Structure 1
Amino acid sequence: MAVTATLVKELRDRTSLGMMECKRALAETDGDIDLAIENLRKASGLKAAKKADRTAAEGVVAAKVADDGSYAVVLEVNSETDFVARDEGFLGFVGAVLNKAFDAKAKNVEAILSDDLEKTRSELVQKIGENIGIRRVDLAQADSGVVGAYVHSNNRIAVLVQLSGGTVELAKDVAMHIAAVNPQVVNPSDMSEDLVNKEKDIIKAQPDMEGKPEAIVEKMMVGRINKFLKENSLVEQAFVKDPEVTVGNLVKQAGAEIVRFVRFEVGEGIEKKEEDFAAEVAAQVAASKSS
């Protein structure tokens, strides 16, 4: 049986082990995922695998820009706690991953995975005692322009901005704005139809829409959708350093245009498991009494 990307993803989801380790385990079992799990449980990776079933939603983001501003990479590496995210060993691992991603001009995690990196990660997991994972990597590359980056001082938000024309400093200023304001798209026309329709449903359900004639509702709908698009589109937002000018006009005045941006925030989209410590202690006490 062929080892497909789908099988590798399923094994990663079920074990939280690294891609290379999962791929190798599946290759050894000819794609038999249950046998691969059994073998992994017997192997030295078991300790890391046990830790990997815990949610890693803390960590840091990092970015690196080429000296000439021609490209940059951004990444997120997760840990279970903020305490470990400040650990020197963890930050050293993040730096190594960042350099590898930068040298490879990596567009995703898969582009930098290797046995050496996975070995380093597993050793760090066992040393620190927490699950650690490289969650995501992205690349911004300018064909005829520049790329700038901004990483907030807490290392929890990082942004890349790709401009057509302009300067690295301008791109960095725009990236700082994006970190602070968090727009969803560059231009209003970039907003997905699904998001617009979802917003329309929310607007229609608002109390002040009830009982109004259809023509009035439609007119109010247009106004509120336009407001929604303006508030969530980068070029329409008031620039944080100078609210008298929009980001779009700021860039235009410099003879540039925003091509795209990438914004990473630590833990966004990860569902954290809520721990009820009191309930856990009570359960342990009850168990000890019954034994």
Structure 2
Amino acid sequence: MANYTAADVKKLRELTGAGMMDCKKALDEADGNVDRAVEELRIKGQKGVAKREGRSAENGAVVSVIADDNTSGVLVELKCETDFVAKGEKFQAVAGRLADHVTKTSPADLETLLGSEIEPGKTVQAFVDEANANLGEKIVLDRFAQFSGVYVTAYMHRTMPDLPPQIGVLVELDKANAELAKGVAQHIAAFAPKYLAREDVPAEVVESERRVAEETTRAEGKPEAALPKIVEGRVNAFFKEATLLGQPYALDQKKSVQQVLDEAGVTLKRFARIKVGI
């Protein structure tokens, strides 16, 4: 079996605009060599390869579908090359159709989603490739989120009034509280926390932050005896900035998000934040 990674598949998709399955097959035939895989796709006449090679799909939209009873919801990011296409009805219809499909099928991951049938005899990847051809731009589907629970809702943010939402946030609470859910989701959209809580930060990330804090403190010439306290303070500052529950709440800077949730008697189970192209 050829030796290649998911990053190689993603790179080949970005270079050529070809589907995931086609890219995997090309990498298999090229023994994992991305440059040779590009040539393989060219030889096979993959539609649009030469035209789209090297293009960047950094515009697009995030769309959401929330169940009427707020027990489930999805976010889907669909990318394109220009904001002109992103604001078009056809592109947004494609994005909405994909979000509806995720809602109905609950795919385990992106590969499962792309390989699933959105129409009889037509996979999601083929559907996206068809949009590629019809819209005349590189169209990429590579992220989605789906939650189900007691209370799920979304907040969608437009960075420009004439564009579709560029940021989408999905939150799951352990009980219904529409006002708080909206406020927390807006906070997440604005402050982009990387993790929910301290315990969700990978150990290697914490160690890296601690090492940087210690080396920085030593370089500043701080007394050796004071190092542990200073380093711990800087690591705690990292947690406060990187974790949602540790951040000062956007609507009340005197309280952390954790304090606001505790006062309301609500637990935030999880969140997802998707910003187009990032």
Normalised by the size of structure 1, how large is the TM-score?
Answer: 0.76
How far 1:12 sits from its partner (Å)? 6.1
Alpha carbons of 1:52 and 1:130: their partners in 2 closer, same or farther (altered >3 Å)? farther
Identity of aligned residues (%): 33
Residues 1:141 and 2:148 are matched in the alignment: yes
CA distance 1:43–1:209, shift in 2 (3 Å): closer
2:139 corresponding residue in structure 1: 132
Map 1:17-166 to 2 at 5 A: 17-22=18-23, 32-33=29-30, 40-41=41-42, 45-48=46-49, 50-51=51-52, 53-113=54-114, 114=117, 115-142=122-149, 145-154=150-159, 155-166=165-176
Change (3 A) 1:20 1:5: farther
Cα distance per residue 1:86-137 (max 9 Å; x no partner): 1222111111111111111234322332434333322332233321110111
Partner of 2:204: 194
Cα displacement (A) at 1:240: 1.5
Deviation at 1:254, TM superposition (A): 2.5
Distance in 2, Cα, partners of 1:211 & 1:8: 44
For the residues of structure 2 that align with 1:228 and 1:220, how far apart are their CA atoms? 13
Which 10-residue stretch deviates more, 130-139 or 47-56? 47-56
Q: Which has the larger radius of gyration?
A: 1
Q: Distance in 1 between matches of 2:108 and 2:20?
A: 16
**3-state SS, counterpart of residue 142 of structure 2:** strand
- The answer on whether the counterparts of 2:174 and 2:266 sit within 8 Å (CA) in structure 1 is yes
Aligned residues: 260
The one-letter code sitting in structure 1 at the alignment partner of 2:157 is H
In the TM superposition, residue 149 of structure 1 has moved relative to its aligned partner by 1.0
Aligned position for 2:244: 234
**Partner deviation per Cα, 1:233-277 (whole Å, 9 max, x = no partner):** 212222222334322122222222111111111111xxxxxxxxx
Return the alpha-carbon distance in structure 1 between the equivalents of residues 250 and 104 of structure 2: 33
Q: Distance in 2 between matches of 1:210 and 1:11?
A: 44
- Tell me how far 1:216 sits from its aligned partner: 1.0
Aligned with 1:76: secondary structure? Answer: strand
Q: Which residue is equivalent to 2:214?
A: 204
CA separation in 2, counterparts of 1:9 and 1:181? 27
User: Structure 2: which 5+ runs fail to align?
Assistant: 160-164
Alpha carbons of structure 1 residues 176 and 11: separation in structure 2 relative to 1, 3 Å = closer
Deviation at 1:148, TM superposition (A): 1.5
Per the TM alignment, residue 66 of structure 1 is displaced from its structure 2 partner at its CA by 1.1
Name 1:179's counterpart in structure 2. 189
Deviation string, structure 1 residues 119-170 (Cα, Å, up to 9, x no partner): 332233223332111011121121xx21121110231111111112243443
Q: How far apart in 2 are the matches of 1:178 and 1:101?
A: 23
Change (3 A) 1:80 1:166: same
* Cα separation, 2, equivalents of 1:13 and 1:71: 32
240 and 12 in structure 1: CA distance in 2 versus 1, 3 angstrom threshold:
closer
